[in-house]
Amino acid sequence: MSTLLHCNSASSSAFTHSPHHRIAPIKPLPRFSPLNAVRCRLIEPLKFDNGRAATNQAADMLIGGSGTAIPSFLVAPSARVQDLVNKNDTRLRIFSGTANPALAQEIACYLGLELGKIKIKRFADGEIYVQLQESVRGCDVFLVQPTCPPANENLMELLIMIDACRRASAKNITAVIPYFGYARADRKTQGRESIAAKLVANLITEAGANRVLACDLHSGQSMGYFDIPVDHVYGQPVILDYLASKTICSDDLVVVSPDVGGVARARAFAKKLSDAPLAIVDKRRHGHNVAEVMNLIGDVKGKVAVMVDDMIDTAGTISKGAALLHQEGAREVYACSTHAVFSPPAIERLSSGLFQEVIITNTIPVAEQNYFPQLTVLSVANLLGETVWRVHDDCSGGIEPYSSLGID
């Protein structure tokens, strides 16, 4: 089950924690975790039986009585995967860059592996040096490196890691990119603009990657920019699993898209929440990272609004949308997002009291100084770890189909 770091979230009148949770002391990762000094509570998630939530209320809220279930691999580390890796396979290797080593360590732990030994350093002039400290000849190598801020540094590091593996005769190289930077530059909106997402895709391909594993790309067409296979994983099951731990009346819930471009994402999210009603915030953008809310499409009066987006950058869009929802009579506003970029002044906006809770995942590491009481961080390590194994094993050995992962 995905690890949940719940940083003193405010209690909600509409949501109550499941009685199946119990509090346990957190065990910090020995070498990589940057969160050792953060005062957080580890909340053990719901236990599932054959993919169903432990309580009927949680199951009905999550699956709407349709029989659709959260994949069982999200419940706990898979003993099946660990046994297969330990007993039958010595060719799977996982290496981490410097962008998010804590997530890479969690993925390795899920698979019952140790992270591969790699040396990464910066020269005095800023150049990056990478050397693998173990043989990868003939191995299936997975490189975990989100291209989060500083995007250019982390991207260049990923490219050099790929090149090092290629020159070390790795059989297959998969770039595991939990957050794909430059994904928003996926089309030309004005004349004489670049399409940086395509350029980055070409760089990763030419560096020697054989496959890319990405999580919640900003737009689906970004997959088409790669000339190699792309496995697109959605973080939605992790967030839905967390929401399943709270009781909710479907009559009180409305899912809100913060802009017109996110309607498809919000509609899919609402369908999993007992087919909840949908509202849309209509915004007009006057410049990069500058958004102005115009009006609201839908009814939120007296309801609990759950805003869903793929990322939170400066939080301008989602905070202005939340202010509009309060003006329209929303009782509480929750923000759910996979990628927490948190560029200034995001923290000030998110902690200003507009949100009852801000729910994100750890695709991007959150700095200690960026934690605030309403923040909840969920781990996607089990989701990515299961995907890594299925890619490596070609989904054989009686493993559930890819569809249960929400993979494109």
Task: Count CA atoms closer than 13 A to 173's CA, side-chain side.
Answer: 26
Strand, helix or coil at 20?
A: coil
Tell whether omega for the bond before 344 is within 30 degrees of 0, i.e. cis. no
Nearest of 143, 83, 139 to residue 111 by alpha carbon:
83
Residue pair 19/43 in contact by the 8 Å Cβ criterion: no
Class of residue 119 by CB neighbours under 10 A (exposed 0-12, middle 13-18, buried 19+): exposed
Strand partners for 141: 93, 173
Count of residues making up the chain: 408
pLDDT 10s per residue in the chain (408 long)? Answer: 444 444 444 444 444 444 444 334 444 444 434 443 333 333 333 333 333 333 444 444 443 444 445 555 555 555 555 555 554 457 999 999 999 999 999 999 999 999 999 999 999 999 999 999 999 999 999 999 999 999 999 999 999 999 999 999 999 999 999 999 999 999 998 999 999 999 999 999 999 999 999 999 998 888 989 999 999 999 999 999 898 787 777 788 999 999 888 999 999 999 998 899 999 998 776 666 665 757 899 999 999 999 999 999 999 989 999 999 999 999 999 999 999 999 999 999 999 999 999 999 999 999 999 999 999 999 999 999 999 999 998 864 344 444 455 665
From the CB of residue 186, how many other CB atoms can be counted at a distance below 10 Å?
20
pTM exceeding the 0.75 threshold for the entire prediction: yes
